[in-house]
Amino acid sequence: MVQERVASMAQFQGSWKLPGGVADPGEDFAETVAREVREETGVQASLVGVATLRHSHGIRFGQGDIYVLVKLLADKDEIQVDPHELQDAQWMSFQRIESLVCYDGKASLDGKVSENNLKMISNALFGSLIEGTLIPNSRGGKPSVLYTAPKPAASAM
């Protein structure tokens, strides 16, 4: 979990959230999240699967915003906080995250976790992951990634 030094809205100043950021041109979201985690915390991580998507309207520059939450596997536990971007960064248990949740949607989230972030984190930890498979790009160039839910067990059909 990370605490950003400067939040986009005063209510979120000092809140705990997952690392993240905006994709660079030509980057897919698996590359984006690995880069953002590395830049913010020094932790190298690789994609395990897609956990959940959040689609909001009017967030960035009045446009829609798709937030992709992925599950990663870290290569190490040591965190190196980027002091220009973050106030703090810590590994937290789910129980610790739950203890920091603020259920008042209008209150300051300083030192807290928003209820929406808890829902996304819970889904990442306990939900089924959507898996990615590289497929050729029909227009050439960088391969595409096809993300699909796991197939149901034969007995469930």
DSSP string across 103-152: --TTS--TT-EEHHHHHHHHHHHHSPPBEEEEE--TTSSSPEEEEEPPPP
- Catalytic pick from 27, 39, 85, 131? 39
Q: Please confirm, yes or no, whether 98 is among the known catalytic residues.
A: no
Residue among 117, 150, 118 at smallest CA distance from 132: 150
Q: Retrieve residue 95's tokens.
A: 């129980």
Question: How far does Cα 49 stand from its chain's mean position?
Answer: 11
Structure tokens at 140: 């050439």
Kindly give the pairing relationship between strand 113-114 and strand 101-102: parallel
User: Hey, which residues are catalytic here?
Assistant: 39
